[in-house]
Amino acid sequence: MQSHISERISNIRSWLKENQLDALIVPHEDEYLGEYLPVHNERLQWLTGFTGSAGVAVITQEQASIFVDGRYTVQVTKQVPDSIFEYHHLIEEPFLDWIIDHLSPSSKVGFDPRLHRSLWVTHAQQKVSGKLTLCPLQNNPIDLLWQNRPVPFFSKMWLMDIKQSGQSSEEKRQAIAEILRKKQAHCALLTQSDSICWLLNIRGQDIACLPVLLTYAIIYDDASVDFFIDPQRVIDEFEHHAGAGVRICPPETLEHSLTNLQGKQVLLDPDTCNAWFSLTLQNAGVSVIHGADPCMLPKAAKNASEIAGMQACHIRDGAAMAKFLSWLDQEVAQGNMHNEATLSDQLAVFRQEDPTLLDFSFSTISAAGSNAAMCHYNHLNQPTPGQLTPNSFYLVDSGGQYTDGTTDITRTIAIGTPSPLMKQQFTLVLKGHIALASARFPQGTSGHQLDALARQHLWAHGYDFDHGTGHGVGHCLNVHEGPQRISKAPNTVALLPGMVVSNEPGYYRADQFGIRIENLELVTPVDTQGDFNALGFESLTRCPIDQRAIDLSLLNDAEIQWLNHYHQKVWDDVSPLVSGTVKEWLKQATLPITRSSF
């Protein structure tokens, strides 16, 4: 593999010389800027061997560097040869700063505008002004050099029934058109595939873990849509399903359609669309209004049918988790200390028993012992999967894409007897989880304002966790959905009824253990009999929290009451779906606890 990478770098340098460029930027992203990439768009992996989800390579005539964040500092050393590449931290040493420091002011740096956010290019051009020149490329050299490139996979379109979507495409398009008219925009360019699939009530499987068709669209202020997709991929029932006003446009007509918007006011989200769109509109003299994707907020606030689907799929997902955790306890009791791959595969088997499962919502994080201290650990990227050991924690973060919703759950499981320190840290994390799940707050509150609730008990003991507390989740769509989130980073987007967010505080002790407890929460109105209309959370996830890992002395009576109430809901909803030893396990796992229980 190293010889292939060396040859590819050499070919890139020859291409740079031929095109009178001094460097090339190669990000992980593809033209859709999504979290997940189809295999034929894994350009960074082809060039470097790196399989992580966040990274950038910079190739010059003399040097090759790869930049990754803290999740991948170990992984990159195992996958990318240090004889060819220097390793850098993506956050602590931004690649643009590195380029400025290592190249002369006369240098020309090539980048593919399709693979960078419009907002990033605007900021980057300002940053390098007078120091070097960023040159947008017409053709990506990797696309020219990549031999035996995987053939793109195009999945079958399927239609989301009105019982699942809760709202017809025509109704959604009218609502978006009203937003455009208020913004005095003639149309909006939609570049996020999940927005388009939500708008048209369709789904697909063009890409792993995200049930979408990779497409683009333009929605106009009369509620009509230009839908850029190969006509051969459109099923016969689509026209009736979508309603009047949806025009099927071959993808090759996209650029022409954009240039024809000259003289129009076009709404464009610079944070979600790639820079090629901005440059194309700019060169055509189109007037651009910068603003958020108009589908984003309506998509995030689920309607009654979508909420019902999310509730239903979480109960079925809870049954799969109960089967897995029951099986795991039996195996450990028999001395079968399986490795992370076996555990992940077995969980997949239980989920796949559900005929409504389309895919997993992300690659399962199956982390034994000290591996769980890496919060985004992936056993598939390790030379050998880790193995369960006595008196340790096992962390499993997983989820499913179902026809009626999306799940994401993390459980930390005691393997044997945890140490007092492990139980203390688990309980501090649990207290934070309960505090956030129990929150009551006025309308207009953002997730940023609630983040400290989940950290307060860790903070009181001098601990913290280095990731966000919660992300939005789509309805049979993106497991990481915006615009809402719960984190330290400022975010002014108010939490709205119908939004779904994760609640996942954690703690990670390097080389020892990792803990995370994650449920999905539905934002819902609550009656506080106070002076304002309050909102709160309803836990959607239905799976026991391991009581064997709790230090009961650290829980107060209200927290014990919350845990007992939650476990009662798990039992009531999941027990009808399981039987035999699984049902007996679930009964024991959800028994109420009291001060005398331990």
Query: pLDDT tens digits, residue range 559-574?
Result: 999 999 999 999 999 9
- Is the same domain home to 162 and 242? yes
- Mean pLDDT for all residues in the chain: 95
User: Given 271, 299, 327, which residue is the final one in a domain?
Assistant: 299
- Is the same domain home to 255 and 324? no
- Is the same domain home to 560 and 513? yes
Query: Predicted confidence band at 382 (pLDDT cuts at 50, 70, 90)?
Result: confident
- Is the same domain home to 181 and 254? yes
In angstroms, rounded to a whole number, what is the distance separating the alpha carbons of residues 389 and 410? Answer: 19
User: The dihedral of CA 189, 190, 196, 199: what is its sign?
Assistant: negative
- Give the mean model confidence (pLDDT) for residues 494-522: 97
What pLDDT sits at residue 465? 93
Residue 354 lies in a domain: yes
- Is the same domain home to 326 and 381? yes
Residue 595 lies in a domain: no
Residue 21 · residue 59 · CB < 8 Å: no
Is a pLDDT exceeding 80 seen at residue 111? Answer: yes
Residue 445 lies in a domain: yes
User: Given 265, 299, 333, which residue is the final one in a domain?
Assistant: 299
Question: How is the beta sheet containing 23-27 ordered, strand by strand?
Answer: 86-89, 64-68, 55-60, 23-27, 108-111, 133-136
What pLDDT sits at residue 598? 55
- Is the same domain home to 514 and 552? yes
- Is the same domain home to 283 and 320? no
What pLDDT sits at residue 337? 96
Is a pLDDT exceeding 70 seen at residue 576? Answer: yes
Query: Predicted confidence band at 33 (pLDDT cuts at 50, 70, 90)?
Result: very high
Residue 598 lies in a domain: no
User: Given 145, 179, 213, which residue is the final one in a domain?
Assistant: 145
Is a pLDDT exceeding 90 seen at residue 100? Answer: yes
Q: What percent of the chain has a predicted confidence (pLDDT) above 70?
A: 99
Is a pLDDT exceeding 80 seen at residue 530? Answer: no
Count of CB atoms within 10 A of residue 170's CB? 15
Domain CATH code at residue 12: 3.40.350.10
Residue 548 · residue 411 · CB < 8 Å: no
Residue 25 · residue 64 · CB < 8 Å: no
- Is the same domain home to 65 and 91? yes
Residue 127 lies in a domain: yes
Residue 198 lies in a domain: yes
- Is the same domain home to 417 and 451? yes
What pLDDT sits at residue 126? 94
pLDDT digits (tens, 9 = 90+) for 451-501: 999 999 999 999 999 899 999 999 999 999 999 999 999 999 999 999 999
Residue 150 lies in a domain: no
Query: Predicted confidence band at 266 (pLDDT cuts at 50, 70, 90)?
Result: very high
Query: Predicted confidence band at 148 (pLDDT cuts at 50, 70, 90)?
Result: very high
Is a pLDDT exceeding 90 seen at residue 438? Answer: yes
Residue 562 lies in a domain: yes
- Is the same domain home to 246 and 391? no
Is a pLDDT exceeding 90 seen at residue 216? Answer: yes
What pLDDT sits at residue 531? 77
Element (H, E) at 401: strand 400-402
What pLDDT sits at residue 527? 87
What pLDDT sits at residue 592? 96
- Give the mean model confidence (pLDDT) for residues 418-440: 98
- Give the mean model confidence (pLDDT) for residues 378-403: 94
- Is the same domain home to 319 and 281? no
- Give the mean model confidence (pLDDT) for residues 576-596: 95
Domain that holds residue 207: 158-299
- Is the same domain home to 414 and 560? yes
Q: How many domains does the structure of the chain reveal?
A: 3
In angstroms, rounded to a whole number, what is the distance separating the alpha carbons of residues 151 and 158? Answer: 22
Query: Predicted confidence band at 597 (pLDDT cuts at 50, 70, 90)?
Result: low
- Give the mean model confidence (pLDDT) for residues 377-397: 92
pLDDT digits (tens, 9 = 90+) for 293-352: 999 999 999 999 999 999 999 999 999 999 999 999 999 999 999 999 999 999 999 999
